[in-house]
Amino acid sequence: MEEDEIKFCPKCGKSLNAGQHFCSECGWKVENVTQGYAKYQSNTVETNRKYNLWLAAKVITVCFLVIIAVLAAYNRYLKKIQKHLILQLI
């Protein structure tokens, strides 16, 4: 990485200047800014993956509940028609 690239605090994610030894936001001692940047990025990727899994689980659950509701409504509708037809035959 170049010296003038922006780096980030591994604890809070605030951008750091090259050669900065402490984060001005949280006070975290930054020993190796490049390593902290990589650690921060990997934590962000892991957090994004967890979020995506939770989002997918929520979407699947909602779809499943909608399907169950539609099937229940259709079943109720069929029973209503069946009852109406039986009453017509009598």
The tens digit of pLDDT for each residue in 53-69 reads 889 999 999 999 999 99
User: Does a structural domain hold residue 72?
Assistant: yes
User: Does a structural domain hold residue 1?
Assistant: no
Q: Are 13 and 25 in contact (CB under 8 A)?
A: no
> 14 Cβ partners below 8 Å, 6+ apart?
8, 23, 24, 25, 26
User: Does a structural domain hold residue 2?
Assistant: no
46 vs 54, more confident: 54
User: Does a structural domain hold residue 78?
Assistant: yes
Range with the largest mean pLDDT of 12-16, 31-35, 46-50, 52-56: 52-56
Domains contained in the chain, number: 1
